[in-house]
Amino acid sequence: MNFVSIQLDNTSNEPLYLQLFNQIKQAILSEQLPTNYRLPAIRTLAKTLQVNNVTVINAYKQLESSGYVISKKGSGFYVSKPNTSEISLMTTPNPKAAKASINFSSASPHPGIFPTDSFKACLNQVLDRDKGFAFGYQETNGFMPLREVLVEYLQKEHHILTTPESIQIVSGAQQGIDIISKSCLNAGDYVITETPTYNGATDAFKSRGARIVPVELTSEGIDLIALEKRINICKPKLVYVMTKFQNPTTLCYTQQTLKALLQLAQKYDFYLVEDDSMSELSYKDKSTYSLKSLDTFNCVIYIKSFSKLLMPGLRIGFLVIPDNLLDHFTRTKQMTDIAASGLIHRSLDLFFRTNKWEEHLSYMKAIYTSKYELMLSQLNKLKVYNITYTEPNGGLCFWLKLSKNISAYKLYELCLDKGLLILPSTIFYPNTHKQRDSFIRLSFAPCDAKEIVEGIAILEEVIKGYSY
Amino acid sequence: MNFVSIQLDNTSNEPLYLQLFNQIKQAILSEQLPTNYRLPAIRTLAKTLQVNNVTVINAYKQLESSGYVISKKGSGFYVSKPNTSEISLMTTPNPKAAKASINFSSASPHPGIFPTDSFKACLNQVLDRDKGFAFGYQETNGFMPLREVLVEYLQKEHHILTTPESIQIVSGAQQGIDIISKSCLNAGDYVITETPTYNGATDAFKSRGARIVPVELTSEGIDLIALEKRINICKPKLVYVMTKFQNPTTLCYTQQTLKALLQLAQKYDFYLVEDDSMSELSYKDKSTYSLKSLDTFNCVIYIKSFSKLLMPGLRIGFLVIPDNLLDHFTRTKQMTDIAASGLIHRSLDLFFRTNKWEEHLSYMKAIYTSKYELMLSQLNKLKVYNITYTEPNGGLCFWLKLSKNISAYKLYELCLDKGLLILPSTIFYPNTHKQRDSFIRLSFAPCDAKEIVEGIAILEEVIKGYSY
């Protein structure tokens, strides 16, 4: 790549540093700039492009924080190279993966569709209204007016009846899982999970010293017969499930299974942890029954995440906690990080109260629906290769069963070489020796239409080359 | 109290709801409105005062979140009533304590002196610059440019040499302690702490299943002879210390003690956890040697909090982590909450880079110095009652030894009845059976000059009545 050829447009709405970032990123993705290539010194490039040093610095930092380059102390910035896990793909600069030009692995929305402007307006309104109080210590359970607005939302949209006192606002679902682990588990306790499941949850349970017992899924939800057997053997403290668009299988529980689960929790005295990150994203029906909505026994700890629906970087979600656990959860949250940022709580409160949440959600749903349908239509092509899947009719992912002779992990590596990032099923199995290598998860969340079409084309090409 | 007599000033800079909040708060503090008194219905009061319903709602919410009133579903708002622990005083609506009109218990600054405007400018600049990226997933260790600027700051102001890769930004010191616990401790492990010490730290260690072994302080820092004995008996994983303006004793370690501690860590193979929340607040000398600055063995985990120096509600602080623990800490942070809010990281980065941090710190120091000197001059009066203390020459607190016949806890209760909140020494002892009841901690951080003078006058009056 010749850096002199970089064109920056002073009249564009896009900041100069982002323009520069994008052009260098493209050069890395297209391998015009190979691994370990040293980028020009900051001053040199600034001079060449006739821009401020800060523009180059910001572009390089963005490249670094996105994992395209690494900096070596005193020596400059170098084009970098990968690993997998759902979390590390979200957050860790990961060279080879970051270089993939099409990303079917992340279920996070593209930052371009975040409601940045309307949220910014809320932030400013809160700062004008509350001044320094927005930066004081927030009560541990979260800003009370926000908890109240969430209670209304749960009642209206989720058929969940609760009170502000039962809500603990958390810094994202992952913190919710961490707080549940610390409040409910001691070393040696058992947790039953679905298999496959979200590895961020099982990692948190294991970190607390708990033992994970996986139970298979049927088309109606967790396998109730297998579950009851395991319960009898291990006496679990918690059973962790995702009842709507399960991650990664995209499965939805039937109401019958939900009710049977509640009966089991009552009979055997354990808590159900229901992790709900996307029940709003139903593209066909509007039925949104959850365990929590049917929880007359008060045995469900409900986790709601806003990362997929709003913006992951807000780091906000909440728990609905059974009454007899409330004090204990509050103490755990205090020991964990005292309280969260009041500014974000107050701004989100205003975002809800001024109906921006509703607007944004219907905007997101419209975008996601069209991406969902596009990917679904493209996937049709793969049926001739013995690839099968169920139409989830919601959520952000598809879960594809591969034909017998294909290894998901090998497919992941072959796709990566062609610039396509997918998730192999191996990472979703909590017990390493029972990992299955025959599924892949494809998300359309961060991709545009062109990328969806191109990505499925790459996948088809790799499968074709692989199997025949 | 007659609500008709409330006067709201439309022309004031202070929002109407805050004016209303302050007047009702005063009425509660002066007991014109007794405990359990039901506030007027929102619409009624709005009509009486000829303001919008929302103004009354916001005032009531603020009263509620500050602990002055509680809401009962469907029935309205009632004047509320107390408990103690350093953390719960910071965050939990605590009726009797919240009703105290003078607060010597909290070491947090008053929200009125927060740099709200300059931080708001940074927030807006970041949003204009980074748009949706400010709300995307942040890398787990924190925004790289912020880590770089912190490295410079540590070198310049703290004589600490480190690299951005060694820094993990955390949501406040408490999360730092939680992450250290999860990364370094298993059930049954030993942690040695100073006694007295910060109860938020010992609670987090205990929650991990660790056992706490307290060691006394001398005037030069932790008692090295007692420490080495305990080390030999319990083989600790961690030794947790506050070397500058220790909480609660205000003690500073000598350089000799620091060096001896490092030698012990090396000899017996444990990590030192150094919790630094206010080493910047030295009012006399500028020597800021810390364990970390002398840590040639790479055995110190350093925790820096910005809650006392900047604003607690930012929920931001950082760790400096020894090289061989880095990967493990990153994984723990991922399991804890994936990553923090990128918006706050980016804004704080800009706050540092535009020299606002420096400006703010010297502003805070000037304010704190004058409060420190005022409280010191007032405390002189108490010497005749056999109250003794060392002048800390820094920090935000005084640690007073009471005369033999006075119980600190009883003094706390008597002061509370007169509207003054102090902290009795009992809460700072990690082992309940060894709690000492003969010290109190007084902080001047959230008080103005008038409150400092009045508060010490109340304390004098209570001590006088108590002992004679």
Complex prediction ipTM: 0.81
Do B140 and B209 fall into the same domain? yes
B286 to chain A, minimum CA–CA distance in Å?
29
pLDDT at B142: 95
**Which residues on A lie below 8 Å from B209 (Cβ)?**
186-187, 209
B87 part of a folded domain: no
Per-residue pLDDT band for A6 (boundaries 50, 70, 90) equals confident
- From A354, A381, A415, the end of a domain falls on A354
Q: Which residue of B has its CA nearest to A163?
A: B73
**Is B340–A172 a contact, with Cβ atoms under 8 angstroms apart?**
no
Give the CATH number for residue B196: 3.40.640.10
Q: Are residues A257 and A137 in the same domain?
A: yes
In a domain, residue B100? The reply is no
The pLDDT, as a whole number, for residue A112 is: 86
DSSP assignment string, A89-107: HHHS--HHHHH-SEE-S--
**pLDDT the model gives residue B37:** 87
Q: Which domain holds residue A249?
A: 132-354
On the question of pLDDT at A63 being above 90, the answer is no
Same domain membership, residue A449 and residue A409: yes
A299 and A316 assigned to the same domain = yes
Mutate to test the interface with A, among B52, B341, B354 (most CBs of A within 10 A): B341
Q: Enter the tokens of residue B23.
A: 């007047």
- Interchain contact, A313 vs B124, CB within 8 Å: no
Out of B140, B175, B341, name the one closest to residue A91 (CB): B140
Domain match, A435 and A343 both: no
How does residue B93 score in pLDDT terms, banded at 50, 70 and 90?
Answer: low
**Which residues does residue A287 pair with via DSSP β-bridges, in sequence order?**
none
Last residue of a domain, one of B80, B101, B128: B80
Q: Indicate if the pLDDT at residue B82 is higher than 50.
A: no
Looking at the structure, tell me whether residues B205 and B322 fall in a common domain: yes
Residue written as token pair 């927060």: B114
How far is the alpha carbon of B134 from chain A, nearest alpha carbon, in Å?
Answer: 7
Chain B residues in contact with A327 (beta carbon < 8 A): none
In a domain, B91, yes or no: no
Q: B248 preceded by cis ω (within 30°)?
A: yes
Residue of B162 and B10 predicted with greater confidence: B162
Residue B307 belongs to a domain: yes
- Alpha-carbon distance A251 to A223, whole Å? 13
Same domain, B286 and B376: no
Same structural domain, B226 and B348: yes
Q: Are B319 and B366 within one domain? A: no
Mean pLDDT of chain A: 90
Distance from CA of A18 to the nearest CA of B (A): 8
CATH number at residue B11: 1.10.10.10
Measure the CA–CA gap between B258 and B291, rounded to whole angstroms: 6
Q: Are residue A276 and residue A295 in the same domain, yes or no?
A: yes
Asked if residue B131 lies in contact with residue B467, where contact means CB atoms within 8 angstroms, the answer is no
Chain A contact set for B64 (CB, 8 A): 144
From the list A435, A414, A439, A406, the residue with the least C-alpha distance to A424 is A439
- Whether A349 and A376 map to the same domain: the answer is no
Q: Do B120 and A127 touch (CB under 8 A)?
A: yes
Domain membership of residue A124 (yes or no) is no
Q: Across the interface, do B87 and A338 touch by the CB < 8 Å criterion?
A: yes
In a domain, A111, yes or no: no
Tell me, what CATH number does B448's domain have?
3.90.1150.10
State the best of A16, A137, A149 to mutate against chain B, taking most chain B CBs within 10 Å: A137
Chain A residues lying within 8 Å of B143, measured CB to CB: 65
Over residues B335-352, the mean pLDDT reads: 93
- CA A78 to chain CA centroid, Å, is 29
pLDDT at A199 over 60: yes
B166 and B285: one domain? yes
Asked whether residue A105 is domain-assigned, the answer is no
Mutate to test the interface with B, among A183, A327, A337 (most CBs of B within 10 A): A337
Q: Which of A49, A80, A111 is the last residue of a domain?
A: A80
Q: Helical H runs in B269-337?
A: 326-337
pLDDT attached to residue B19: 85
Residue A332 belongs to a domain: yes
**Domain count of chain B?**
3
